[in-house]
Amino acid sequence: MKALAVLTIGTMIHIEDVGGGSRTYEIVEHLPKGLVRCRATSRNDCPLQNLEERVTVICPQNNGVHLILSWIRESAGDGEDIIVDAVGKMWFVERRRYFRLRGPDIKAHYAIVDTNGKLASGTASGLVWDLSGNGIALFVESRHTIRANTKLHLVIVLPDETKVGITGDVIRCAHQRQKKREYLLGIHFATIDDADREKIIQYVIEEQLASMKR
């Protein structure tokens, strides 16, 4: 498969430079000789550095992600508009292997949602054990078992202090330590804004790319 078959107009991609910087772009035009014009989706993103060197184009798909070694041939507006030459090696990583991060050092706050859709009084915190764009595994300490099918309102705090609000359904609750009343909750995201899901996926991608380099 050629890169242009993946990099279709309107597709949202992430581009990472050799220094680990990452920015989100939308593909806006196909140009001659296999070049692709991209436009940054936000002015608040950090500009890419070292644009003369190789970059990695990260193109999420429904069942995984394509990684494409590429070069930036032109750049304007502090990297807001770029022309990418995606002629390098391309490989595919399945979603179950890529869009999931184990052991991130982040926390999540949660509250139980009652049958009337109202939040129970008081919130608690847990340590994120496993994170993806579709769900989360969360270590919590609780006096009471949080049973399957319990609905939770979650606020995940990413390392850059970005907060992501989600409503999720508990699909499993595994008792970990009797004395500490510790449980591992498996939670499926039931309601999440597309922009917030994108923030989680981008964070997971960046962390996994960093781990691949170590």
- pLDDT for 32: 92
The DSSP H or E segment spanning 4 is helix 3-6
In this structure, which CATH number among 1.10.3720.10, 2.60.40.10, 2.30.110.70, 1.10.4080.10 belongs to the domain 3-98? 2.30.110.70
Cα–Cα distances in angstroms (integers) from residue 186 to residues 65, 136, 207, in the given order: 24, 6, 21
Examine domains 3-98 and 100-202 and report if their fold is the same: no
| pLDDT of the residue at 177 | 55
Distance in angstroms (rounded) separating the CA atoms of residues 67 and 74: 21
SS3 readout for 53-93: CCEEEEEEECCEEEEEEEEEEEEECCCCEEEEECCCCEEEE
With a cut of 60, say whether residue 44 has pLDDT above it: no
Average the pLDDT over 78-103 and give the result: 78
- Residue pLDDT, tens place only, 150-207: 999 999 998 888 899 999 999 888 776 555 677 888 898 999 988 888 888 888 877 7
pTM of the model: 0.58
User: What value does the mean pLDDT of the chain take?
Assistant: 82
Tens digits of per-residue pLDDT, 98-108?
Answer: 566 666 678 89
Give the architecture-level CATH label for domain 100-202.
Beta Barrel (2.40)
- Compute the distance between CA of residue 58 and CA of residue 15 in angstroms, rounded to an integer: 6
pLDDT, position 62: 66
pLDDT for 4: 84
**Domains in the chain: boundaries:** 3-98, 100-202
Q: Is 121 left (phi over 0), alpha (psi -120 to 50) or beta?
A: beta
Q: Does residue 29 register a pLDDT over 90?
A: yes
